[in-house]
Amino acid sequence: MNPTQKTAMMIKKFAAVCFGIAFLMAIVLFTGTGSEFISISLAKFIFMISGAIGLLLNLLSFKSGKHGLVFNFLYWSGSIILFIGLTFLLMHWPYGFYIIIAGMSVLGISFIVPESIIQEDENTDLLDDLD
Contacts of 81 (CB under 8 A, 6+ apart): 99, 102, 103, 106
Distance between CA atoms of 125 and 128, rounded to whole angstroms?
9
Distance between CA atoms of 82 and 69, rounded to whole angstroms?
20
More confident residue, 100 or 119: 100
pLDDT given for residue 11 in this prediction: 86
Average pLDDT over residues 81-107: 91
pLDDT given for residue 127 in this prediction: 54
Q: What are phi and psi of 2, to 5 degrees?
A: -80, 165
pLDDT given for residue 126 in this prediction: 54
Tell whether the torsion through CA atoms of 38, 15, 108 and 111 is positive or negative.
negative
pLDDT band at 7 (very low <50, low <70, confident <90, very high): confident
pLDDT given for residue 103 in this prediction: 92
pLDDT given for residue 99 in this prediction: 94
On whether the pTM is more than 0.85, the answer is: no
At residue 66, does pLDDT exceed 70? no
Q: To the nearest whole number, what is the mean pLDDT of the chain?
A: 82
Q: Which residues of 23-38 are buried (b: 16+ CB within 10 A; e: fewer)?
A: ebbeebbeeeeeeeee
15-64 confidence digits (pLDDT tens): 889 989 998 998 998 898 888 999 999 999 999 999 899 888 887 766 65
For the ranges 17-21, 70-74, 85-89, 116-120, the lowest mean pLDDT is seen at: 116-120
